[in-house]
Amino acid sequence: MKKRSNIQMMARLIGLVKPLMGYMILAITLGLLGHLCATFITVLGGYAVMNVWGYAALNVLGHSVWMSLQTTFIVIVVIAILRGFLRYGEQACNHFIAFKLLALIRHHVFVALRKLCPAKLDGKDKGNLISVITSDIELLEVFYAHTISPAAIALLFSAIMSVFIGSFHWSLGLIALAAYCTVGVVIPVIISKMNGDLGTRFRQQSGELSSFVLDSLRGLLETIQYGTGQARLEKMNEKTDQLLVQEEKMKRLTGRNTAITNTVILAFDLVMLWASTLLSMNGVIGFDGVLISVIALMSSFGPVVALANLGSTLQNTFAAGNRVLDILDETPVVFEISGQPEITFENAKVDHVTFSYGQETILSDISIDVPKHSVIGISGRSGSGKSTLLKLLMRFWSAQQGQIQISNTDIDAINTENLRNMESFVTQETHLFHDTIANNLRIAKLDATQEEIEAACQKASVHDFIMSLPNGYDTQVGELGDTLSGGEQQRLGLARAFLHDAPLMLLDEPTSNLDSLNEAVILKSLQEERDGKTVILVSHRQSTMRIADKVYSVEHGRMS
């Protein structure tokens, strides 16, 4: 995880508000007016008391304004009602900004994940990614709805109230300013430092727990089969307890923050009372200066208290923001290409390609010619690099040495969309979404007709099976396709490839989960389609390789 300071984090997160700056300014304005209304309800109440005692002058920044008792109460009622509308408007604007930005951030994260996939996401903890996409992004709502505008409101409000209280005497204004700065700035900074990296550890452990739970759910059958349920449960409880320890520390710090804040507020109220009384005894200010300055200070801590309370929660929010920004800042292994001339498929060529995962060399000096309308077989032991070669042809990864060409053009100079339209890739494991069979197939061609879907399924020898289901093509597939067998999933993957109707088919062990009869049907379909297709076929089965025009053998990353 990249380490960013809180200032850097806030700058990055605030920068996302730019498209909604108008709403932010409106929220700050409404919030400022609302807090002033709330404070001056109490202040005007003080003037009403003074009016009863014979003090009729309302001091506004050093100027006396005369107001009757009846008028004072009318103004109080008006600003009390106005306070409700202003508060609602502020919250509505803040939450509109927050949820609009959360949607925008999720969009940016999914775009980033799409660019990072599959190279940078291979081997990534899926539960942790889910935690980032869901709970981490959700936590940013605290920052956008309850941090940015409250901070601006607290700054402006503190300045206005310091000037108002200072209108009685400049020293009282300085006391008020010191009180606001201590509660709104000093205490949050101290609490944030006391928090340390608690928020980061909490988010990391939360992600680890999510991963463990997801992993346990996926392996539930194996857990039951081998009787390891108790061990998994103990491990889950252990991770939960570790998370609770971090949460308890954060809650304890929050309570300490509240106690410190309230103590400091009480202390400054007493200082204001002592200072104003001393000034009154020396004849510098009147009784109104004592009463109103104390009342004004006591009733005006709302905005800065909101900031003080953030001191113990923002670390958690910043930790979540850090994890989100890590994804947004991650550099893809392969960048999408656009703006190049469109090409049509004529042939493919792998020319002296070498590829490594980190320090481990997977392919070394591999060369393959793939003429148009041919079936090229690639055989070899498991782990010899056969699947990696197909991924390089799809440009999921880039070769460190050598060149891969389609139609005599380096694939690094072909538009990504153009390249993917020319290729159909069937992997060893077919991913099926929790949707109908028809919708799972339409991924390959979104506007496919029912007739096209059925024709593709017939070529993949899966149509009769689908029609035997109660709802046919509208049958729901379970999560990760767990309602279907491995062979049925594999045939649906082949049906997708046929439906995509690309001129170059890359098939990675397409018959590994099939019986001899279904294998023969699919091989027959490939033979019949070869006039319009070019096929690169990876398999360890000799029976599958019978349809290949030429077979290359890859052993330990080298051609033999």
341 domain residue, yes or no: no
pLDDT at 176: 92
Side-chain-side CA neighbours of 271 within 13 Å: the count stands at: 16
Q: Does residue 425 sit in helix, strand or coil?
A: strand
pLDDT band at 379 (very low <50, low <70, confident <90, very high): confident
Q: How far apart are CA 424 and CA 130, in angstroms?
A: 28
Instruction: Give the predicted TM-score (pTM) of the model.
Output: 0.65
pLDDT greater at residue 538 or residue 270: 270
> pLDDT, tens digit, for every residue of 289-301?
888 889 999 988 8
Segment 422-472, tens digit of pLDDT: 988 888 778 888 888 899 899 888 888 999 999 988 888 888 888 988 888
Distance, C-alpha 287 to centroid of its chain? 57
pLDDT, position 270: 94
The CATH number linked to 93 is: 1.20.1560.10
Q: Give the domain-ending residue among 329, 359, 380.
A: 329
Question: Residues 320, 352: one domain?
Answer: no
In this predicted structure, the answer to whether residue 61 has a pLDDT above a threshold of 60 is: no
Tokens 């309302």 — which residue?
58
Query: For 81-140, how does the pLDDT look when each residue is reduced to its tens digit (9 = 90+)?
Result: 999 999 899 888 888 888 888 888 888 888 888 887 777 777 666 667 777 777 777 777
User: Which of residues 298, 329, 360 is at a domain's end?
Assistant: 329
356 and 411 part of one domain: yes
- pLDDT tens by residue, 163-200: 999 988 899 999 999 999 998 888 877 777 776 666 66
Check which CATH number belongs to the domain holding 412 and give it: 3.40.50.300
For residue 323, being part of any structural domain is answered with: yes
Q: Is residue 463 part of a domain?
A: yes
Confidence of residue 486 (pLDDT cuts 50, 70, 90): confident
Among 280, 303, 329, where does a domain finish? 329
Q: What does the pLDDT read at residue 210?
A: 77
**Residue 156 predicted with pLDDT over 90:** yes
Give yes or no: residues 15 and 81 share one domain: yes
- Residue 81: its pLDDT value, please? 92
The mean pLDDT of the chain is 81
Q: Are strands 63-66 and 347-357 parallel, antiparallel or unpaired?
A: unpaired
Average pLDDT over residues 35-56: 78
What is the structure's pLDDT at 24? Answer: 85
Give the C-alpha separation, 234 to 240, whole Å: 10
Domain count, the chain: 2
Q: Are residues 434 and 324 in the same domain?
A: no
324 with 351, same domain?
no
User: Any residues with CB less than 8 A from the CB of 311 and at least 6 apart, and which?
Assistant: 187, 188, 189, 190, 191, 192, 195, 257
Q: Is the peptide bond before 470 cis (omega within 30 degrees of 0)?
A: no
Q: Is residue 213 part of a domain?
A: no
Q: How confident is the model at residue 277 (pLDDT cuts 50, 70, 90)?
A: very high
**For residues 21 and 30, what is the distance between their CA atoms, to the nearest angstrom?**
14
In the sheet that holds 558-559, the strands lie side by side as 423-426, 504-508, 534-538, 375-379, 550-555, 558-559
538 and 447 in a common domain: yes
Same domain, 315 and 377: no
pLDDT tens-digit map of 521-560: 777 777 776 667 888 888 877 777 888 888 888 876 566 5
Note whether residue 51 is domain-resident.
yes
Residue 68 has pLDDT above 70, yes or no: no
The answer to whether the CB of 498 falls within 8 A of the CB of 472 is no
Distance (Å, whole) CA 376 – CA 350 = 12
Degrees to nearest 5, angle at CA 45 with 42 and 50: 135
**161: CB partners within 8 A, 6+ apart:** 39, 176, 180, 296, 297, 300
Write 520-526 long-range contacts (CB < 8 A, 24+): 521/461, 522/459, 522/460, 522/461, 522/491, 522/494, 523/547, 525/459, 525/460, 525/461, 525/498, 526/375
Per residue in 194-214, pLDDT tens?
A: 766 666 677 777 777 877 887
Cβ contact 268:300 at 8 Å: no
Model confidence at 22, pLDDT cuts 50, 70, 90, reads confident
323 vs 136: CA distance, rounded Å: 8
pLDDT band at 60 (very low <50, low <70, confident <90, very high): low
- The DSSP string of 498-514 is HHHT-SEEEEESTTTT-
The more confidently predicted of residues 256 and 295 is 295
Provide the residue range defining the domain that includes 540: 347-559
Let me know whether 296 and 393 are in one domain.
Answer: no
- pLDDT at position 46, please? 80
State the pLDDT at residue 267.
93
Please report whether residue 539 resides in a domain: yes
Same domain for 422 and 298: no
**Cβ-based neighbours of 12, under 8 Å, separated by 6 or more:** 4, 321, 325
Both tokens of residue 284? Answer: 């510098």
Evaluate whether residue 227 is within a structural domain. no
499 plus 443 within the same structural domain: yes
The pLDDT, as a whole number, for residue 72 is 77
397 in the same domain as 429: yes
151 touches 188 (CB < 8 A): no
Position 63 pLDDT exceeds 60: no
In a domain, 335, yes or no: no
Count CB atoms within 10 A of the CB of residue 516: 9
- The rounded percent of the chain whose pLDDT value lies above 70 is 88
Angle at 145 between CA 139 and CA 147, to 5 degrees: 90
Domain co-membership, 541 together with 435 = yes
